[in-house]
Amino acid sequence: MEKFDGDPRKWTTFVATFRAHVHDVLPSDAQLLAVLGQLLSPKLRSRFVGLLTDPNMYYELLQRLRRIYGDPYALAKSSLTEIMNLTTLKSDRASDLEDFFHRPVC
């Protein structure tokens, strides 16, 4: 499973995969929190370090992550920023337009 780096565009996939492979499988909050902590990028881990030390905070951490990264506004803002940062197409050739259209966005 890929680590979550805080990109709101990746939240839905991350949380769905996490629920299916971890949340719905492991029996204890301590185990869930340990795995969730390992699946956060170092930057996010350091941001939530206070919650990662207490198994009773597992659901609180999950709620905070959902509130911050699952927010539709954050997703729209992130997507708009990505669109605004696209390089402009400087050619009239159809093949260049096709390459531009099929360029992966991430």
Residue 2 domain-assigned? no
pLDDT tens per residue, range 45-91: 999 999 999 999 999 999 999 999 998 888 888 888 888 887 777 77
Q: In degrees to the nearest 10, what's the CA dihedral of 11, 76, 73, 51? A: 30
Which of these, 50, 94, 49, 65, lies nearest to 7 by C-alpha position?
65
Residue 88 domain-assigned? yes
Residue 3 domain-assigned? no
Domain of 45, in residue numbers: 8-101
Token pair listed for 23: 């949340």
Residue 54 domain-assigned? yes
pLDDT tens per residue, range 7-54: 998 999 999 999 999 999 999 999 999 999 999 999 999 999 999 999
Residue 94 domain-assigned? yes
Token pair listed for 86: 């696209």
Give the SS3 label for residue 21: helix
Give the SS3 label for residue 42: helix
Total number of domains in the chain: 1
Read off the pTM: 0.74
DSSP 8-class letter at 6: S
